[in-house]
Amino acid sequence: MNVNNNSYTIGFASVMVIIVAALLASASISLTPFQDRNIELEKKQNILQSVGINIERDNSEEAYSQFIKEEIVLNYKGEVIEGSAFDIDLNVELKKEIKDQNLPLYKSILEDSSTCYIIPLRGTGLWGPIWGYIALKNDVNTIFGAVFAHKSETPGLGAEINQAFFQAPFKDKKIFNGENEFVSITVTKGGAKEGDMHAVDGISGGTITSDGVTDMIQERISHYIPYLEKNRPSLNINNISDTLSSNNLISMING
């Protein structure tokens, strides 16, 4: 009798496990499109946030279409290639040699007609991946805004990279120095020096995560330099000569 009872219990439990597993699998499959859609909208929300457009996730579709005018894919030479920037998974790309990587770039035109170049970021913090977006103004040197996120950094410490107080100081910092050399942005332990255009304050107690943000920004942006230099507004010799000639002519007219 006990054997029969045990067999019945085991059989019943097995059937229930199969039924529950089937229901969970079915629910997972049916929910996948909704999950993917939410991920897509959140990504658009974060891209927009880097250029100062803060909206609810569910409203990001329309705003994205309005302000993001180009989705570009680059190779390591800074050449535009075919592909979908939005569909690129940086986690996959980072496992490749740089010569084989696809580099996504977003071009935004804001309400005042100014242009921003948005570069996706991905790196490593203390406990896992960190990522974000950094937007450069039309001079491809000055930071318009930055947004960061993480998977599992320590609450109250490294996890603070997703807070406004950490992200806001990146605005108006420079990635090139006065000699037009790429120097990136350093997240500085103990605080950046006053007037330092290439550094921001680190997070107290979050040194490893802060270093991870520094490394992430430097590593990712460095691969965009060939493209940025080609699109960086600058005076060339002819411009300078024309300007000098114009100034001389004006001086002669004014006596």
Tokens linked to 32: 């996948």
- Read off the pLDDT of residues 81-130 as tens digits, 9 standing for 90 and up: 999 999 999 999 999 999 999 999 999 999 999 999 999 999 999 999 99
Domain extents in the chain: 69-237
Phi, psi of 215 (to 5 degrees): -65, -40
Q: Which two tokens stand for residue 35?
A: 């999950």
Question: Global pTM?
Answer: 0.80
Task: State the distance between the two ends of the chain, measured CA to CA, in whole angstroms.
Answer: 120
Could you tell me which of 168, 124, 172 has the C-alpha nearest to residue 146? Answer: 168
Residue at token pair 């219990």? 9
Distance from C-alpha of 197 to C-alpha of 186, rounded to nearest angstrom: 10
Percent above pLDDT 90 for the chain: 72
Look at residue 245 in the predicted model and tell me its pLDDT: 42
Q: How confident is the model at residue 235, as a pLDDT?
A: 40
139 Cβ contact partners less than 8 Å away, ≥ 6 residues apart: 232, 233
Lowest mean pLDDT across 30-34, 52-56, 206-210: 30-34
Q: Is 170 helix (H, G, I), strand (E, B) or coil?
A: helix
pLDDT, tens digit, for every residue of 205-228?
Answer: 999 999 999 999 999 999 999 999
**What pLDDT was estimated at residue 209?**
96
User: In one letter, which amino acid is 73?
Assistant: V
